[in-house]
Amino acid sequence: MEVDLTGAVWRKSTHSGPDGNCVEVAVLGNGNVAVRDTKDNGSGPVLAFTPGEWDAFLTGVSVGEFGNS
């Protein structure tokens, strides 16, 4: 997937601590969602999701699909 980060507005959870171990999320102009690690100060890799992929991920999180077992 080609990802254009021009104009991306990154945000992180209000639950994030000051230690920098967080992720940031940006909703892109085409509806895709980009995710990056804050430790890389904006220079690291970016994961990109289509709206459907992002919705599936959020649903999985909300039902505990990714919990430790």
Cα–Cα distance list, 6 to 17, 27, 28, 59 (Å): 27, 11, 9, 28
Average pLDDT of the chain, as a whole number: 88
pLDDT more than 90, % of the chain: 49
From CA 50, how far away is CA 48, in angstroms rounded? Answer: 7
pTM for this structure?
0.80
Which residue bears the tokens 């649903």?
59
Q: What is the DSSP string of 5-58?
A: -TT---EE-TT--TTS--EEEEE-TTS-EEEEEGGGTT-S-EEEE-HHHHHHHH
pLDDT at residue 51 greater than cutoff 80: yes
Q: Where are the domains of the chain?
A: 11-62
pLDDT of residue 42 exceeding 80, the answer is no
